[in-house]
Chains A and B, each alone.
Chain A
Amino acid sequence: MMRTVRLQEIANARTGDKGDRLNLVLVCRDPAHYTAVAAQVTAERVAQVFAARKPTRVVRYDLPKLAAFNFVLDDVLEGGVNASLGLDGHGKSLSFLVLDMPVLISAEASRFACGAQNKSI
């Protein structure tokens, strides 16, 4: 049995900046989801989520011992905090752009997923 959940239900994210480069940390709340997230939240798919910002390069670094991933997205901050005309030149809010992605997980592995009915962490 598989079911689709929003990434926010099974993973945590935090974004940080270095100039015009964004780093996005994605951590599986339950390490059991690592393989499913690795298969679906690919660099290509994250690049699609950021299409409006026209990333020139997206790299995913895998950290299986931490059940986590580090994405590095180049040139997505409109010049970064020094040059962006936007309110969020640091890209701090962009973690939730990725957490909005749908992912397919097996029903058994979803026991740790959070949501309106199940708030366990």
Chain B
Amino acid sequence: MTKVFIGAAAGFAGDRSDAGVPVVNALAAQTGPRFLMFETLAERTLALCQLERRQNSQRGYSPALERMLPPVLARCLESGIRIVGNFGAANPAAAARRIAEIAGALGLRAPRIAIVEGDDIADKLSTTELAAREVGGESLARLPKIISANVYLGAQPMARALDQDADVVVTGRVADSVLALGPLLHAFKWRADDWDRLGAGTLAGHLLECGAQVTGGYFADPGYKDVPDLAEVGYPIAEIDETGEVVITKPAGTGGRVDRLTVVEQLLYEIHDPSAYLAPDVVLDLTDVEVTEIGRDRVRVSGARGRPAPETLKATVCFDGGLLGEAEISYAGPNASARAQLAAEVVRQRLRKRLPHLNVRVDAIGIQSVWGASGSSPDLHGEQANDVRLRFAAQSADAAQIEMLLDEVEALYCSGPAGGAGVRRRITPRLASTSCLIERRYAEPRVTMLGAPA
């Protein structure tokens, strides 16, 4: 029975540049349809790319492709391993041109590059119309300045691109799982209403889309959950047969582990209702999925079911989210906790008078910095820590308010408690995002080959 091999070389834009190399080497040793997928588009990444495109019409793709493709492109083209990635971001056509340039600079043959577009709906619906379709919030009702609005496209356009013999398929926003389902639809010619198989392919994509998170990455807890050679963790390869049975494995000789525990942890990651995981092509039901260890670093995942696709498509809408201001200062040595406590009180007291409406968060890094609730300060009374780094944070659309907070923290140098040290301050523009459900008619996916007449 034909098997399709899909390797994952990136689970996000910040992933390792060299992750794909062992995966491609393992795929090159196999025969049959083989694909390498790159997932590089977190929710807000696309909005950042959209901002870049506005500055320069040749940019707006994920810069990750610049460092992730060169290590693997030659071997993929030589071995017939086809590359699929959503690194097109806000400008898939520009990404395609850039990939052609990279291939040229490496002295490779010109790859056939397909471009999948049509996810951008920012010009099709007004902010008011988007607001009427917002789910789980009412942030668009305030009519913020929209930066990007993109629906998650399904797998059919990618399958069509592969049907046209593309060596590389570049997309903008597609559902992450489409990076596997698209190649499977192309290879197996599954029908668009073969729900169980579409479910299985979506499941394969879901397991692959976070890269090493299924092979021992983001898993280790020394003494409880040990992972061999985590520094060289191998990225996953899924082997899928035409019935939709999935085997997850990783390249021989790499670090990491693939077993029931690593697979189940990723299987449910970022899932809401396991009986109804909504994807553009199918509603995936995970409730009868079974995960079986069938060999060393080989796990079979079977039993996925599917139901008819949702009537609407999800869209992520990004808009201006004001400014995040952060400032930090350290206290060390005897009585450090008490001096840090006093510093926090000084800043709070001064801001109460000067900016009474600004919500300020204070953390004591090393004591309480990630789990506390905003609005309150950590209680350091009785703490004996002798190395405390205080962090102050606030958000506002008004830069002057943020500056005032950061100035107050910096002023602790001369007028706060003794020994305050190492102030760092930073202002970051924020992007906010929300989700909308959009009628399918607004998405007009189209596939073009780079260099073909439009």
Contact = CB atoms under 8 A, between A and B. Distances in A.
Given A9-B224, A19-B136, A19-B434, A82 B44 contact: yes
Interface stretch (B158-166, B267-275, B408-416): B267-275
Contacts of B371: 52, 88, 93-94, 97
Interface in B97-138: 136-137
Chain B: interface size category: 35 or more
A14 B265 contact: yes
Interface in B253-273: 261, 264-273
Chain A: interface size category: 35 or more
Nearest to B223: A119
A86 B374 contact: yes
Contact of B264 (A8, A27, A94, A116): A27
A66 B395 contact: no
The dominant DSSP class at the A interface is mixed
Contact of A84 (B265, B268, B374, B435): B374
A32 interface: no
Contacts of B370: 86-88, 93
A61 B289 CA distance: 14
Interface in A7-26: 8-9, 12-14, 16-21, 23, 25
Q: Output the residue of A13, A72, A83, A85 with the most chain B CB within 10 A.
A: A85
Contact of B361 (A65, A72, A86, A121): A86
Contacts of B219: 12, 14
A20 B43 CA distance: 13
Contacts of A19: 136-137, 433-435
28 contacts: A8-B221, A12-B221, A14-B265, A14-B269, A19-B434, A21-B136, A23-B268, A23-B269, A23-B270, A27-B261, A27-B265, A61-B273, A65-B290, A78-B373, A82-B431, A82-B433, A83-B430, A83-B432, A85-B360, A85-B361, A85-B393, A86-B363, A86-B370, A86-B374, A87-B391, A88-B371, A114-B224, A119-B224
